[in-house]
Amino acid sequence: MRYLLLLLALTCSYAASAQTTPEETRKQEEMQRRQEREKAREARTAKFQQQMDSIILTHSYAFLPNQFQQQPAGMPHQIVNPNLRLDVYPDFTDVYLPYIKGITPPYQMTVLNYTISYVEGYSAVQNSQGWVITFKSNLFSVNNYTFTLTVYTATGEAILDLSSDIYNTVTYNGTIMGHY
C-alpha cells in the first residue's frame, strides 16, 4: 500500500510539472533572456563609468567639443574641426577652442590658442552624476577665465563653461577621452 501511495504521489507531481505549456516555457525563457540582457547592460555601464573615472583621475585627458554657444541665449555653433579641443596634462594645459568675444552685438568669433604651464586652483570633485573640474587662467591677458568642466559618467557627456571677467560665458558640449 505504501508503495502504491508513493507511486501515485510521484505520478501526480510528475503530471503537475509536465503540464507546463509551451507558451509558459517560452515566457520563462524570454524573461530569463531579458534579465540576462539587463545584467549585461548594467555591467557595461559600470565598466564605462569606471573608465570615465580613471580618465579624470589620470589628469591626462582631452575635451572634444562638438558644439558651442554664447550664454545666455546665443546662437549654437557646430564644431566640425577635430583639432579644436582642450587638452589637460599633469604639467600643462593646451587650449585650442573657438570663442565668442564681445559684450554687445556684433560679437567677434575667434579661437583661443594657448599652452598654459600653470593653471590656478585645479580641482576635480566627484558627485553622484560624475565629476566637476574647475581651474582658472588669465590666458596671458588682463582677463581672468574660469573653466568649469562637468562630466556625466553614465552618458559620457561633458559640458565646458568658459566664463570670463569681461565677456559672456561660452558653453561647449562634447565628450572627453584619455590620452594614451
CA proximity to 104, closest of 8, 168, 147: 168
How sure is the predictor about 143, in pLDDT bands with cuts at 50, 70 and 90?
Answer: confident
82-99 pLDDT per residue, tens = 999 999 999 999 999 999
Q: How far apart are CA 131 and CA 124, in angstroms?
A: 7
Whether residue 136 has pLDDT greater than 80: yes
Burial class of 26 by CB neighbour count within 10 A (0 to 12, 13 to 18, 19+): exposed
Residue owning grid cell 577665465: 145
pLDDT digits (tens, 9 = 90+) for 145-177: 999 999 999 899 999 999 998 888 999 999 999
C-alpha distances out from residue 174 to 26, 37, 135, Å: 43, 29, 18
The answer to whether 149 and 162 have CB atoms below 8 angstroms apart is no
Q: How far apart are CA 7 and CA 92, in angstroms?
A: 82
pTM of the predicted structure, to 2 decimals:
0.79
Half-sphere exposure for 118 (CA within 13 Å, toward CB): 2
Question: Which one has a higher pLDDT value, 15 or 79?
Answer: 79
CATH fold for the domain made of 59-178: Lipocalin (2.40.128)
